[in-house]
Amino acid sequence: MKKLFFFLALAFLSAASFTSCKKCETCTATDRSTGVIEYSTEYCGTKATVDANTSSFISIWDDTYTSASCN
């Protein structure tokens, strides 16, 4: 019985160690004159994917009329 619990615990720890963390960030585009959020979206995935998507979002939305931010 002890061996069964040992192997179950070992299997659980092995499964938990193989799961990868998924990073998520929410990006919003806000109207500079009114402060109203015009668009909001969430990006999830690996750090590299999320960083690329948030950089793209900011470069597209951050202009004279809107302020873009991600966190």
Q: What does pLDDT average to in each consecutive run of 10 residues of the chain (71 residues)?
A: 56 54 95 97 96 98 97 94
Q: What is the pLDDT of residue 17?
A: 52
Q: What is the pLDDT of residue 34?
A: 97
Give this prediction's pTM. 0.69
For the record, the structure tokens of 63 come out as 């202009």
Q: What is the pLDDT of residue 3?
A: 60
40 vs 42: CA distance, rounded Å: 7
Each domain of the chain, given as residue ranges in start order, spans 21-70
Q: What is the pLDDT of residue 21?
A: 83
Q: Is 71 helix (H, G, I), strand (E, B) or coil?
A: coil
Tell which residue, 3, 10, 54, 8, has the closest CA to residue 29: 54
